[in-house]
Amino acid sequence: MKLLVSPINLEEAKAAYNGGADFIDVKNPKEGSLGANFPWVIRSVKEAMDPKTPVSATIGDMNYKPGTASLAALGAAVAGADYIKVGLYDIQTTEQAIDMVEHVVRSVKDYDPSKKVVISGYADYKRINSIPLRELPSVCADYGADVAMMDTGIKDGRSTFEFMTNEELSQFVESAHDLGLISAIAGNIKFEDMEAINQIGPDVIGIRGCVCGGDRNSTIQQKLVEELKSMMV
């Protein structure tokens, strides 16, 4: 299991890296759960990291605007992100999800086939009017995405575990694996969730708030990254 930590700037990225993060995930919490940061921030982080350390970048909690999402995805790829992540926020039908995934994947892979596309659904999909998470892995697999992820759309302190049972989370991971995808779980994961996370066994867990001392709008602390990393199996 790999640890993805989401910094907002170069200083935080260094703290995450020095703490043992396997993925550095550039985002901007001011713009939402998967808020997009600026191209120059992505570039500065990529240039500062060990070349073997993958850098990902979020492009937003996107409603049904496949053209906008595709341009944003290409921008993140050009800026240096190895993994480009889009959230299917307010995507209400499978057809809309397919349209989004197909075109985001094409925009990234046409530019550089080695780059990976991460498609995120939301554990709290019912309250943000999005498709059920159970539909996500098959759409990802059928239309060329590399990673099926879940997060929480509304950052009000409630975690993925408050919206999904351990069994549902395990089913999501198993479904992704059965389809040849990388599985990832995020969404206000806390230190006390790590025992359950280790049992569920996603390929990647994504965190920010818990390594900022519990407040995602605070600053990433290297010692907390180290502590969380030590709890992973």
Residues taking part in catalysis: 27, 85
Helices (H), 82-213: 94-111, 125-128, 136-142, 166-178, 194-200
User: Which residues make beta-bridge pairs with 185?
Assistant: 150, 205
- Secondary structure of residue 105 in the 3-state scheme: helix
Cα 3 to Cα 95: distance, rounded to the nearest angstrom? 32
Q: How distant is the alpha carbon of residue 110 from its chain centre?
A: 22
Cα 173 to Cα 202: distance, rounded to the nearest angstrom? 6
Q: Which residues, 6 or more positions from 154, have their beta carbon under 8 angstroms from its beta carbon? A: 33, 124, 127, 128
Cα 103 to Cα 86: distance, rounded to the nearest angstrom? 12
Q: Which of these, 33, 6, 68, 34, lies nearest to 211 by C-alpha position?
A: 6
Burial class (CB in 10 A: 0-12, 13-18, 19+), 168: middle
Strands 147-151 and 182-185: parallel
Phi and psi for 34 in degrees, rounded to 5? -115, 40
